[in-house]
Amino acid sequence: MGDRFQVISLKEAGFDGDIPETHETLEENSLEKAAYVFERIQLPVFSDDSGLEIEALNGKPGVHSAHYAGTRDATVNMQKVLDELQGITDRKGQFRAVITYCDGSQTEQFEGVIKGSLAEEVVGADGFGYDPIFIPEGHQHTFAEMSAELKNTMSHRKRAVEKLADFLHTLN
């Protein structure tokens, strides 16, 4: 969000602890996290939840992206996706982020999406999560092969944060 707003960390706001994620949609988890933190610190907050959604897998891994194979190990999670896509030619997917803003009087959600396709193998060393198997539309390389600067110009989180920032400007 650059220098357009003053953003402080949870620690700076006096929050310490785990934040629940108990729902089956990105929207619900993002809302749960924002409401949970707001209740505890009584300051405007925003939270996000995001995931990789693959058409041929009926939207999976989706909300379970971070632990799709039962672990937070990105290599194991990517391998599960690649195994499930074995022999499938329609490899369309998207990264989707949902950011929830909550200030006690209003709650708003903002979505960011980057469409693309899934590679047939892990390619590239940069990035995190599923970046080595995700090729954004209009590009020939995975996110893991791109510089952080290039990836950040098109990421799903960037798109959601831009909508949040536009909304926050309307409050001033």
Say if residues 112 and 159 touch (Cβ distance below 8 Å). Answer: yes
- Between CA 36 and CA 39 the distance in angstroms is 5
DSSP state of 61: B
Q: Can you state the percent helix, strand and coil of the chain, rounding each to 5?
A: 35, 20, 40
Q: What is the DSSP letter of 59?
A: T
Distance CA 98, CA 160 (A): 7
Q: Which of 18, 48, 49, 131 does the annotation list as catalytic?
A: 49
CA angle centred on 146, ends 95 and 109, rounded to 5°? 30
Taking the C-alpha atoms of residue 48 and residue 97, their distance in angstroms, rounded to an integer, is: 7
> Is 49 in the active site?
yes
CA atoms within 13 A on the CB side of 137: 10
Q: Which residues are marked as active site?
A: 49
